[in-house]
Amino acid sequence: MTSAALQSLQEIDPHYPVPRVLEFLSAPDNAAFLEYVHNDPFGCHVFPGDIPNHPLDAFLADMDEGIRQAPRIHLWSYIPTCRYRCHFCQYPTIILNPQSASSQVVFRDLVDYNIKEAKMWLARVPSLAQAEVGEFNIFGGTPSLLPEPELRRLMAFYTSHFNFGAATMRFEGEPGTLTKDYLALLKELGFTKISFGAQSFDDRIIAACGRMHSADECVETIHNARALGFDWVSVDLIYGMLGQEVDDVRYDMEKTLELELSHVVCTKLHMEEFMKRRTGVSGVRESLWQKKGLVDKNDMRFPGLGKQYQMRELVELYLADGYREHPTMYFHRQGQPAEKWKALITDLDKQYPEVAIGLGGSSKCIGAEAINITSYPLYKQALDENRLPIDETRGMSPMQRELNAFKMALSTLIPVDDRVYQRRFNGKSFFANPVIDSALATLTRKGLVTVDNHVVMLTPNGVTLVEAIINTQFPTSQFPTAQA
Ligand SMILES: C[S@@+](CC[C@H](N)C(=O)[O-])C[C@H]1O[C@@H](n2cnc3c(N)ncnc32)[C@H](O)[C@@H]1O
Ligand code: SF4
C-alpha cells in the first residue's frame, strides 16, 4: 500500500516544479499522512459525533437548544435529481429524463416529501421556525431540473415557514440546465448566489468524467448569471481526473482569472467511499470510477499523487494574488465575502447549527449530529410512516465538542486564536486539552503549524495537508465515549 502510494507520489510532470509537500510525504515518519492522501477520503465536510445511537429525541432537544442559542443558522434543502451520473460522483441521485411524463411525478413527490420532512422538523424543533436563517441553500443533485411550478411551490413553503428576513439564498445547479430563463426564475425568487460544477474548462476532460455539457455552456452560464445581476457565481473544479495533466489545470486557472469568478472550489478527486468518513451529503452507491478502479482509457490516464500536488500548488500560485482560501478548497475573490454557509458552520467564532432537509442530508449542532437516509425508497417509507427520515444520530462528548471546534477552525485556514476558543469553552484554553496540545506539539515538530502568542497558524505544507491533519492527528479512541 505505502509503496503504491510512494510510487504515485513520485509521478510528477518534469515541466513543473517538484511539489513542496513531496519531501514531507516521502519521509517514513509521515506515512500516516501519505496513506491518508493516497486513499482520498472526503474529509472536510462533517465532523462526526463520538457517541453512537444518540436517541432521536435527545438529538432533537440538542438541536432545539443549539438553535435557540445561536444568532443564526444554515438551512438547506437537497434535491437529488440528475440527468446523468458523473463517473466520480457518489452523491445520492435519482437519474431521470427531465422531459418524460414519469419524471414529473418524481419532481412532484420530491417536493411533497421535502415539505413534509421540513414540517416534521418544525413540529419537533420549536425554535426552528423563528431562527434567523443566515443562508439558505438548495443543494443537489441537480435542483435546476425542478420544473418551475415545483420550485415555486417549494420556495413558497420555505419562505413562509422559516425566518428568511436576513437570509442570503444560494442555488446549486448544473450548467446544461441553468438556462437564461431558469436563472431569471431564480432571480425572481430571491436567489442571489449561484453555484455549479464545471469540473474542468476542457471539453475532453468534461466528457471523460461522464458529464453532458460543454465548457462553452459553463462560460455562457457565468455570463448569463452576471447579466441578470447575480452578484456571486461559484464554479466547482476537480483536479486528479481521467486525462487531466498539470497543463490542463493551468488552463482551468487561466480561465478562472479571465472569467473573474467570484468564487471557485478546487477539490482533489476523492475516491474513498464517502460514507466511511460521512460527508455533508452521503451516497449509497459507488461511483463508476470506484467500481471499476482508476483504469486508464484510450490515451487518457489518471494523474498520480505527485502530479495532483503539482496541480494543487498551481491552483495556489494562480489564485494567490486575487483570491483567499477560506475554508480549505473554497477560494473567494479578495474584497468579496467568503462562502457564507461554510463560514457559518465552521469559523471558530460561529460554528452555528445547520439543518438539512432531504435525502442523505446531515444536520448538526454543538452537542449532536444526524445523517439522513440515503436510499430514496427508504426515505419515502420513513416519511409515509410519519417518521423523520434520519438514519443515524450521534452525540458529542465534551472532549469531542472541543476537538471538533478546533478541527473545524483549522479547516477554515484562518489562524486559530486561543482567546476566541476560550470564549467558546468557558475560559478553557485549547492548550489545556491533552489531545489538542499533543497534536500541536507533533504538528509543530513536523513543520505543519506554528504557535505564536496564543495563535495557531498552518504553514504552507499544513494548508495543503489540512484534511490529513484533521483526520489523522486528533485521535479520540483513547477517550472512552461518554454516555448519552
Ligand atoms: C454534488 S455536486 C452538485 C453540483 C451539480 N450537481 C453539478 O454537478 O454541476 C457538488 C460538487 O461536488 C464535487 N464532487 C462530487 N464528487 C466528487 C469526488 N468524488 N471528488 C471530488 N469532488 C467531487 C463536484 O465538483 C461537484 O460539482
Ligand atoms: S456531480 Fe452533480 S450532476 Fe454529476 S452526478 Fe453528481 S450531483 Fe449529478
Which numbered atom of ligand 2 lies nearest the CA of 80?
Answer: 7
Give me the tens of pLDDT residue by residue for the chain, a chain 484 residues long: 468 999 999 999 999 999 999 999 999 999 999 999 998 776 566 688 999 999 999 999 999 999 999 999 999 999 999 999 999 998 889 999 999 999 999 999 999 999 999 999 999 999 999 999 999 999 999 999 999 999 999 999 999 999 999 999 999 999 999 999 999 999 999 999 999 999 999 999 999 999 999 999 999 999 999 999 998 999 999 999 999 999 999 999 999 999 999 999 999 998 876 555 554 455 556 778 777 777 777 788 899 999 999 999 999 999 999 999 999 999 999 999 999 999 999 999 999 999 999 998 999 999 999 999 999 999 999 999 999 999 999 999 999 999 999 999 999 999 999 999 999 999 999 999 999 999 999 999 999 999 999 999 999 999 999 999 998 999 875 344 333 2
Q: Where are the beta strands (DSSP E) in 352-415?
A: 354-357, 362-364, 368-372, 390-395
**193 in any annotated domain:** yes
> Could you tell me if the CB of 236 is within 6 A of ligand 1?
yes
Cα dihedral 396, 398, 402, 405 in deg (nearest 10): 30
What's the alpha-carbon Rg for the chain, to the nearest Å? 22
What cell was used for 127? 425554535
Backbone angles phi, psi at 282, to 5 degrees: -105, 145
52: CA distance to ligand 2 center in Å?
30
> Could you tell me if the CB of 76 is within 6 A of ligand 1?
no
Give pLDDT, residue 7. Answer: 96
For ligand 1, atom 15, name the residue with the nearest CA. 89
**404 in any annotated domain:** no
Q: Which has the closest alpha carbon to 267: 46, 10, 89?
A: 89
**259 in any annotated domain:** yes
Beta-carbon count within 10 A of 225 CB: 23
* Nearest ligand to the CA atom of 81: 2
Range of the domain at 315: 56-346
Q: Is the pTM of this model over 0.85?
A: yes
* Alpha helices in 324-371, H assignment, sequence order: 340-346
- We report the CATH number of the domain holding residue 243 as 3.80.30.20
CA atoms in the 13 A half-sphere facing the CB of 320:
7
212: CA distance to ligand 2 center in Å?
11
Give pLDDT, residue 44. Answer: 61
> Could you tell me if the CB of 360 is within 6 A of ligand 1?
no
Which numbered atom of ligand 1 lies nearest the CA of 142?
Answer: 6
Give pLDDT, residue 40. Answer: 78
Adjacent-strand bridge partners of 372: 390
> Could you tell me if the CB of 92 is within 6 A of ligand 2?
no
Give pLDDT, residue 274. Answer: 54
Give pLDDT, residue 478. Answer: 39
**433 in any annotated domain:** no
What cell was used for 470? 484533521
**465 in any annotated domain:** no
Round to whole Å and give the CA distance between 253 and 251. Answer: 5
> Could you tell me if the CB of 316 is within 6 A of ligand 2?
no
E strand or H helix that includes residue 394: strand 390-395
Peptide bond before 55: cis, by omega within 30 degrees of 0? no
For ligand 2, atom 2, name the residue with the nearest CA. 141
Q: How many residues belong to the chain?
A: 484
95: CA distance to ligand 2 center in Å?
10
Give pLDDT, residue 47. Answer: 85
> Could you tell me if the CB of 91 is within 6 A of ligand 1?
yes
* Nearest ligand to the CA atom of 281: 1
Q: 75-101 burial by CB neighbour count: b if 16+ within 10 A, else e?
A: bbbbbbbbbbbbbbbbbbbbebebeee
Give pLDDT, residue 371. Answer: 92
**410 in any annotated domain:** no
For ligand 2, atom 6, name the residue with the nearest CA. 89
Number of domains observed in the structure of the chain? 1
**296 in any annotated domain:** yes
**246 in any annotated domain:** yes
